[in-house]
Amino acid sequence: MQEAVNYCQSQIESAVTKLPHNTELVFEDRGSYLYAEVSGPNDSFEISMAYWMAIAEQVHRRGTRRLLVLERLGQYHGERDMTLMIDSIIALGFENVRVAFVDAFVEDFPIVEQGEILAMERGIEGRVFGSVQEADRWLRIGASDHVDAPINP
């Protein structure tokens, strides 16, 4: 297990730590959760890891327990390795964060569903949705719970 964590950390460190100039990441506090929207003409492992690293920084700084991520990125460049992607994102510290993920491009849905399954198998409370409205509704379920209580006991 430690070997897998070390591998993921090395992949994260080798990823571009700054988003490309034509990629935008915005945050919005929506009361019961943090909203993050990333948009740009391209997607890749490096771009995805750069924005997830920026999101992780905000999540940890704010003490966020619920997160909605809307991805509006263009075509993916390179080989998709969802296991590496999910393990790398988890290594950033999302264990106690309820994550709702929306991919604006319907054709990517089967791929992100695979990511949802991998995350659930690893004990992460995360779901993928076809719309921000659905994701918002799911995040608000139990939003009045005590924020100190772990999401996955």
- Render pLDDT for 137-148 as a digit per residue (tens, 0 to 9): 999 986 544 343
Residue 8 has pLDDT above 60, yes or no: no
CA 63 to chain centre: 16
Instruction: Write the CATH number for 124.
Output: 3.30.750.24
Give residue 79's domain range: 2-132
Residue 11 has pLDDT above 50, yes or no: no
**Strand 98-103 versus strand 34-43 pairing type:** unpaired
> Is residue 140 in some structural domain?
no
Contacts of residue 124, defined as CB under 8 A and 6 or more positions apart, other chains included, come to 90, 94, 95, 99, 152
Tell me the average pLDDT of the chain. 85
> Is residue 67 in some structural domain?
yes
- Count of domains for the chain: 1
Neighbours of 140 (CB within 10 A): 15
> Is residue 52 in some structural domain?
yes
